[in-house]
Chains A and B, each alone.
Chain A
Amino acid sequence: MPLDWNSFDEGSSLPELTKNPGVSQLVKYAAGGGDFNPLHHDFAFPQSKALGSIIVHGRFKYAALGELVSNWLDHGGRIRSLSCQYRGMDLPDQPMTLGGVVKRKWEENGEKLAEVELFVKNAAGKNTTPGGAVVVLKD
């Protein structure tokens, strides 16, 4: 169901999304996104060896936060802005929980807007990728 303006308030949580990307998923992301940095698929790459593992693309997490917001909107609106910072590395085959909270809900120039704060929590509960989005709902 497309997101309804009256179905959420400031403080409402977005339905969470769980991701557990293994090497195969990261290879698919590399092909879809065009980032073939070996740090995301080759354990023998010097930077991977220095870090002890390959790591999940920051952009995979960014795109997954986009999926979280897209799933919430369910095409009942559009994303005006989407951002995140990559504060911590995530490793393959580790569960991550993505979620968000509505920080602000307002109307401006006839548009219905909401600002959400986003997170990607790793298995230890640390937010590796804080982010945010502003969405505009359909009338």
Chain B
Amino acid sequence: MADNIEITEEFKAVVGVQSEPWTHEVTTTSVRAFARGVGYTDPVYFDEDAAKAAGYRSLPCPPSYLGTPIFIPGKSNDTFSGPKNTGPSLNHGLKNVLDGGTETEYFDDICAGDILTVTSCCADLSIRESKTTGQMLIVTSESTYTNQQGKVVAKQRGQGLFY
């Protein structure tokens, strides 16, 4: 268990710094793969005719899905699939991570065929005591998703719990 985690000046300097942009693709295959992973049976997420009959341009993104990051070996994180080294990182040395929470705000629809440009930043740092894991460093990150027309279509905030 970690104890005495300290939010150093070096950590604080990372807060608010925007990452380099990277690309998420939304394709018919990626929407189906996500919907299948969740266990949807609604044909709107699998069948383009059903999606169009329901009023969408193509298969819509299921809630929480915001496209799949383009994966390039060596440039992408092999575990979490996002890009590596697009912004400053926190060298906290904590090996374990749990997910604390997720919040997504939508400003427009997102469908197969869309290409989203994503930037993220560390929005907040805090420390929490946990009975099971000891001290945890709570890293709140915020990502902004902009479509191929230049419109911000979603913002997502998430909390990583490092211990």
Do these two chains really belong together in a complex?
A: yes
A33, B37: Cβ atoms closer than 8 Å: yes
| Set of chain A residues within 8 Å of B99, measured between Cβ atoms | 57-59, 86
Binding site for B on A (CB under 8 A): 19, 21, 25, 28-38, 47, 50, 57-60, 62-67, 69-71, 75, 78-86
Flag if A81 contacts B106 (CB, 8 Å): yes
Tell me whether A32 and B34 are in contact (CB under 8 A): yes
Find chain B residues with CB under 8 A from A57 CB: 99
Contacts of A79 in B (CB 8 A): 63, 106
- How many residues of B sit at the interface, in one of the four size bands? 35 or more
Q: Is the CB of A71 within 8 A of B42?
A: yes
With A75-B44, A79-B106, A82-B63 already in contact, the answer to whether A34 and B101 are too (CB < 8 A) is no
Q: Majority SS of interface residues in chain B?
A: mixed
Closest B residue to A136 by beta carbon equals B106
**In the bound complex, CA of A25 to CA of B40 (Å):** 12
Once A79-B106, A83-B101, A83-B103 are accepted as A-B contacts, the answer to whether A28 and B63 lie under 8 Å apart by CB is no
Which residues of A have CB within 8 Å of B102? 58-59, 62, 83-84
Candidates A25, A50, A65, A83; contact of B39 at CB < 8 Å: A25
Query: Chain B 89-116 against A: per-residue CB contact (8 Å), 1 yes, 0 no?
Result: 0000000111111111110010000000
Are A85 and B101 in contact, with the CB atoms below 8 A? yes
Check B64–A82 contact: CB distance below 8 A: yes
Instruction: State which residues 43-100 of B face A: CB under 8 Å.
Output: 44, 54-56, 62-65, 68-69, 78-82, 96-100
B105 neighbours in A (Cβ, 8 Å): 80-81
Residues of chain A within 8 A (CB-CB) of B100 are 58, 85-86
Q: Within the complex, what minimum Cβ distance (angstroms) separates A79 from chain B?
A: 5
**Contact status of A66 and B81, CB under 8 A, knowing A59-B102, A78-B106:** no
Contact of A82 among B55, B82, B97, B104 (CB under 8 A): B104
18 CB contacts below 8 A, A to B, read A25-B39, A28-B36, A30-B37, A31-B37, A32-B36, A32-B38, A38-B79, A58-B99, A59-B64, A59-B102, A67-B39, A67-B63, A70-B62, A71-B42, A78-B106, A80-B106, A84-B101, A86-B100
Closest chain A residue to B101, Cβ basis: A85
The answer on a CB contact under 8 Å between A64 and B62 is no
Inter-chain contacts of A60 with B (CB < 8 A): 37-38
Is B26 among interface residues, defined by CB-CB distance under 8 A?
no
**In-complex Cβ contact of A36 among B36, B37, B78 (8 A):** B78
Bound-state Cα–Cα, A49 to B114, Å: 40
Give chain B nearest CB distance to A95 CB in angstroms: 13
Known contacts A28-B37, A33-B37, A60-B38; 14 additional CB pairs below 8 A are A19-B39, A21-B39, A30-B37, A32-B37, A36-B79, A50-B96, A59-B102, A62-B64, A62-B102, A63-B65, A67-B62, A79-B63, A81-B106, A82-B104
